[in-house]
Amino acid sequence: MPRTTTLENPGCPPLRALTFDVLGLIKVIEAKGEEKAAAKVVERWGEPDSTRAVVAASILDREIDPLLGVARKNGLVDVLNPVNGDIQVSIPNVSQTDVYPEADAIIGLHLFRKQRLESLSRSITFLTCTIKGRTSMKSIEIPQSCTDTISDAAQTTWNTCGSGDILFSKVDENECYALFGGKGVEVNVWDIHTSTKIWTAKSPVKNNLGIFTPTWFTSGSFLSKDHRKFVSGTNSHQVRLYDVSAQRRPIMSFDFGETAIKAVTGDLDGYTIYAGNGSGDLASVDIRTGKLLGCFLGKCSGSIRSIVRHPELPVIASCGLDSYLRIWDIKSRQLLSAVFLKQHLSDVVFDSYFRNEVGGSTDLPHQLQGLNDISEGTEDEGIVPDKRKKASKVHKGSKKLKLRNEGKNSDLPPQPQDLNKIPEMIRAKRKKASKVHKGSEKHKLRKNRQEQ
Amino acid sequence: MGGKRKNSAGTTSGHSTQEGGQHVKKKEKIVETLLPSTIKNKEKRSAVHAKIKHQKGLEKRKRAKAREAAEQRALELGEEPPLKMIPRTIENTRELDETICKPDDEELFAGNDADEFSSILKQDCTPKILITTCRFNSTRGPAFISDLLTVIPNAHYFERGTYDLKKIVEYAKNKDFTSVIVVHTNRREPDALLIMALPDGPTAHFKLSKLLLRKDIKHHGNPTSHKPELVLNNFTTRLGHRIGRLIQSLFPQDPNFRGRRVVTCHNQRDFIFFRHHRYIFETKESKQAASSGKKIKDNKDEESSEQKVIARLQECGPRFTLKLISLQHGTFDSKGGEYEWVHKPEMDTSRRRFFM
């Protein structure tokens, strides 16, 4: 018989995510947050071209003038506008002209929030790291149009490793330190400003059989708001917690799954981490105790390449070789939405300033004016920043205000929608539970009667 | 059971037919209210059950007869015959799958152009296959490999020795092989197949079952050395598409149609059935067909047309069934490998969900 009962779909809170795949396409996925509506692909940027496969991505997630950096397989770094996908500037890998770009592909990219140069024009600073360990930090002025040549590229380059392959690079919250690690490279922390290595890990001791597992780090991530603590995953399916201030060997390590840990991300609370491995298992772990909190089950069949935590909503997104973007609730560990995106995905980022454009369209002109005021105040003449078109319709300075507006429109109690949902779910569960309970009570009564 | 009923029929034949009819009606009433599974007495239960079964059979036959009669009548009157009922099968009630390839998908074709097999499938290079075994290999394993060597052109058997598979892959890469096939045997019976595309293609791990070698197939044919044609059936989803392309890259892309040799990989419910045939087109004249009428069924149709071309098949073997266990990204790497697809038990929550 075909399935007669339908699975209860908890629905997805309103969010916007961007995914990057091996054909160099960028896809925008939006969930409207309506009742039981799944996330959908709304836009696709770029033409399919395998040489432009995306290897790393980074987003400057801010209200005004957001930017999206995309590193491609052929050594190109594109800076886009994450709202409409316009390419702002495209930077060829100028640092090495003699080397094949494919042989020394970029593996890590980070756009800096802070502006390093106190210049009048819009500029962007970013850090790239290649497999061979060539790390460079560049500051580039964003030209007015794409045809302009890139005028000035202030650049500092250093080598993070002598031998081995770098497999991941991460920058901490305050953008002062960078973390590197890879095959044959112990995890090491660098001070970005002075470009010096400040700390290197020591490999764990041999086990009781005297067997030494070779160093092979496959993923790593700083824990939230603390540059001294970070987690990393190894090829021998181990997740390790390091503390720079304590010791050079891992403080904590545990095994997870049976394949290499391909993605690790810390939660905002600073102790929960999410780890994904090469066979598609995703789990959340309390790193203080090393206890597995639970696995995310949802028929995920391909290697997980990237896990991202949403900065505000209690959701994470994972993507990988099974070409699905999956959005999970972190509390119930339930799959909220899965979107099939046709290609192997390499990365996913959240655009947290996305607002649903359903409500608050009545006093639109006023709001637009408000936004214009803000932008005029911050930006210089001549350069018009890209306003968030979608945000502009409903945006009114702060997020809370807007949510209140929405609440009024839909005659709901003034609470954010996403938060509303969880109690609802719990309530539903409770209802069920109570039903069962009643049933059992009835049963008992019946039994009693029979006995009488 | 049958004997019992006969007996009972024999004893009750003396009674009037009316009584018997009433008896049946009573039973029916009982049946409507009471399920045989609720009867505790076994004899009674089996009797009731037999009765119900018999009734059901009768009804079914009646319905079939009515349907046939309606069809016949429609034919006689020259009307449209009533629509044939389509049976509900597992295949046509398959769970909705968004990964099924659509013919107008631009990204699919761009992806095909960029994938690991495109150089072979565009005939930029000819496939060259290395076949090897697991460490311990005997009896049916070598026999299966010798069969495979005749099926796949430009395939070379290398003894495994004690080499690591990774070393073999390295060697094959240097020698410009395009694929490696590893036949795994367990208790002298081939039970798994590893197909690997080189230099950086995916690695597919199949379970192999129902193996029938050429010499075990009755009236088997002996294949020629022509390049075979390849038939791939039902590889619909993205995963299936990829597996199909992997299999396609084992064979040369320019078949010799003169050889009339065909290799079929038919996918049904995630099982891939491998068959190898020779075929021939024969023209049968009506006279011949009339004389040897009992052999060929469709001689009635041939009376209308004087000559008819029919295709005849002869199986050459081997014959086996494959089931995908995992598809790994990159070449064989059991420890640090990334999987594109792994079969997990949590996927088996529905009989109507298929992945290929």
For tokens 């979107």, the residue is A339
Say yes or no: A262 and A396 in one domain: no
Query: In this model, does residue A449 exceed pLDDT 60?
Result: no
Residue of A nearest to B348 (CA): A299
A340 touching B, CB under 8 A? yes
Q: Considering chain A, what percentage of its residues have pLDDT values greater than 90?
A: 27
Residue of B nearest to A261 (CA): B336
Query: In this model, does residue A452 exceed pLDDT 80?
Result: no
Query: In this model, does residue A119 exceed pLDDT 80?
Result: no
Say yes or no: A71 and A127 in one domain: yes
Q: What is the pLDDT of residue B322?
A: 96
Say yes or no: A336 and A451 in one domain: no
A22 touching B, CB under 8 A? yes
What residues in B contact A303, CB-CB < 8 Å? Answer: 329, 338-340
Distance, in Å, from the CA atom of A312 to the CA atom of A87, rounded to the nearest integer, reads: 27
Q: Considering chain B, what percentage of its residues have pLDDT values greater than 70?
A: 85
Residue of A nearest to B89 (CA): A1
Q: What is the pLDDT of residue A203?
A: 87
Say yes or no: A72 and A86 in one domain: yes
Say yes or no: A395 and A320 in one domain: no
Minimal CA separation from A275 to chain B, in Å: 15
- Determine, yes or no, domain membership for A359: no
Mean pLDDT of B52-73: 94
Q: What is the pLDDT of residue B354?
A: 92
- Determine, yes or no, domain membership for A357: no
Question: Cβ(B244)–Cβ(B272) under 8 Å?
Answer: no
Say yes or no: A152 and A196 in one domain: yes
B97 touching A, CB under 8 A? no
Q: What is the pLDDT of residue B290?
A: 47
Minimal CA separation from B203 to chain A, in Å: 14
Mean pLDDT of A308-316: 90
- Determine, yes or no, domain membership for A7: no
Q: Out of A3, A262, A343, whose CB is closest to B338?
A: A262
B106 touching A, CB under 8 A? yes
A105 touching B, CB under 8 A? no
Q: What is the pLDDT of residue B286?
A: 60
- Determine, yes or no, domain membership for A323: yes
3-state per-residue secondary structure call for chain A: CCCCCCCCCCCCCCEEEEEEECCCCEEEEEECCCCCCCCEEEEEECCCCHHHCEEEEEEECCCCCCEEEEEECCCCEEEECCCCCCEEEEECCCCCCCCCCCCCCEEEEEECCCCCCCCCCCEEEEEEEECCCEEEEEEEECCCCCCCCCCCEEEEEEECCCCCEEEEEEECCCCCEEEEEEECEEEEEEECCCCEEEEECCCCCCCCCCCCCCCEEEEEEEECCEEEEEEEEECCCEEEEEECCCCCCCCEEEECCCCCEEEEEECCCCCEEEEEECCCCEEEEECCCCEEEEEECCCCCCCEEEEEECCCCCEEEEEECCCEEEEEECCCCCEEEEEECCCCEEEEEECCCCCCCCCCCCCHHHHHHHHHHHHHHHCCCCCCCCCCHHHHHHCCCCHHHHHHHHHHHCCCCCCCHHHHHHHHHHHHHHHHHHHHHHHHHHHHHHHHHHHC
CATH at A167 = 2.130.10.10
Residue of A nearest to B343 (CA): A301
- Determine, yes or no, domain membership for A358: no
Say yes or no: A138 and A192 in one domain: yes
Q: What is the pLDDT of residue A392?
A: 42
Q: What is the pLDDT of residue B19?
A: 44
- Determine, yes or no, domain membership for A322: yes
Minimal CA separation from A137 to chain B, in Å: 31
Q: Considering chain A, what percentage of its residues have pLDDT values greater than 70?
A: 70
By residue range, what is the domain housing residue A170? 15-350
What residues in B contact A29, CB-CB < 8 Å? Answer: none
- Determine, yes or no, domain membership for A1: no
Query: In this model, does residue B237 exceed pLDDT 70?
Result: yes
A321/B339 touch (CB, cutoff 8 Å), yes or no:
yes
- Domains of chain B, CATH where assigned: 2-77 (no CATH), 117-293+301-347 (3.40.50.10480)
A303/B352 touch (CB, cutoff 8 Å), yes or no:
no
Mean pLDDT of A173-191: 90
Say yes or no: A130 and A64 in one domain: yes
Q: What is the pLDDT of residue A99?
A: 56
Burial of residue A7 (number of CB atoms within 10 Å: 0-12, 13-18, 19+): exposed
A75-89, A109-123, B31-45, B213-227: the lowest-pLDDT one: A109-123
Say yes or no: A400 and A427 in one domain: no
Residue of B nearest to A260 (CA): B336
Mean pLDDT of A243-265: 91
Average pLDDT, chain B: 85
Minimal CA separation from B319 to chain A, in Å: 30
Suggest the residue from B94, B95, B102, B342 to mutate for an interface test with chain A (most A CBs closer than 10 A): B342
Query: In this model, does residue A420 exceed pLDDT 80?
Result: no
Minimal CA separation from A216 to chain B, in Å: 10
B338/A23 touch (CB, cutoff 8 Å), yes or no:
no
Kindly indicate the confidence band of residue A400, based on its pLDDT and cuts at 50, 70 and 90: very low
| Residues A54-89 pLDDT 10s | 999 999 888 788 889 999 888 888 888 888 888 888
Say yes or no: A267 and A377 in one domain: no
What residues in A contact B338, CB-CB < 8 Å? Answer: 259-260, 262, 278, 302-303, 321
A35-39, B28-32, B242-246, B284-288: the lowest-pLDDT one: B28-32
Q: Domain tally for chain A?
A: 3
Say yes or no: A316 and A381 in one domain: no
What residues in B contact A49, CB-CB < 8 Å? Answer: 110
A322 touching B, CB under 8 A? yes
Q: Out of B114, B337, B341, whose CB is closest to A50?
A: B114
Suggest the residue from A279, A325, A333 to mutate for an interface test with chain B (most B CBs closer than 10 A): A279
A153-157, B110-114, B230-234: the lowest-pLDDT one: A153-157
B343 touching A, CB under 8 A? yes
Kindly indicate the confidence band of residue B48, based on its pLDDT and cuts at 50, 70 and 90: very high
Query: In this model, does residue A410 exceed pLDDT 50?
Result: no
End-to-end CA distance of chain B: 45
| Residues B173-192 pLDDT 10s | 999 999 999 999 999 999 99
Please state, as a whole number, how many other Cβ atoms lie within 10 Å of the Cβ of residue A219: 27
Kindly indicate the confidence band of residue A145, based on its pLDDT and cuts at 50, 70 and 90: low
Minimal CA separation from A66 to chain B, in Å: 28
A301 touching B, CB under 8 A? yes
What residues in B contact A343, CB-CB < 8 Å? Answer: 107, 111
Phi, psi at residue B42, to the nearest 5°?
-70, -40
B336/A22 touch (CB, cutoff 8 Å), yes or no:
no
What residues in A contact B238, CB-CB < 8 Å? Answer: 323, 342
A342-351, A419-428, B274-283: the lowest-pLDDT one: A419-428
B10 touching A, CB under 8 A? no
Mean pLDDT of B6-14: 42
Q: What is the pLDDT of residue B210?
A: 95
Say yes or no: A255 and A234 in one domain: yes
> Token pair for residue A386?
């890209």
Query: In this model, does residue B79 exceed pLDDT 70?
Result: yes
| Residues B293-312 pLDDT 10s | 444 445 444 445 568 889 99
Q: What is the pLDDT of residue A379?
A: 38
Minimal CA separation from A57 to chain B, in Å: 20
- Determine, yes or no, domain membership for A355: no
**Bigger pLDDT: A323 or A392?**
A323
| ipTM associated with this complex | 0.75
Kindly indicate the confidence band of residue A263, based on its pLDDT and cuts at 50, 70 and 90: very high
A342/B350 touch (CB, cutoff 8 Å), yes or no:
no
> Token pair for residue A234?
């190894």
Residue of B nearest to A343 (CA): B111
Rg (CA), chain A: 24
A124 touching B, CB under 8 A? no
Kindly indicate the confidence band of residue B27, based on its pLDDT and cuts at 50, 70 and 90: low
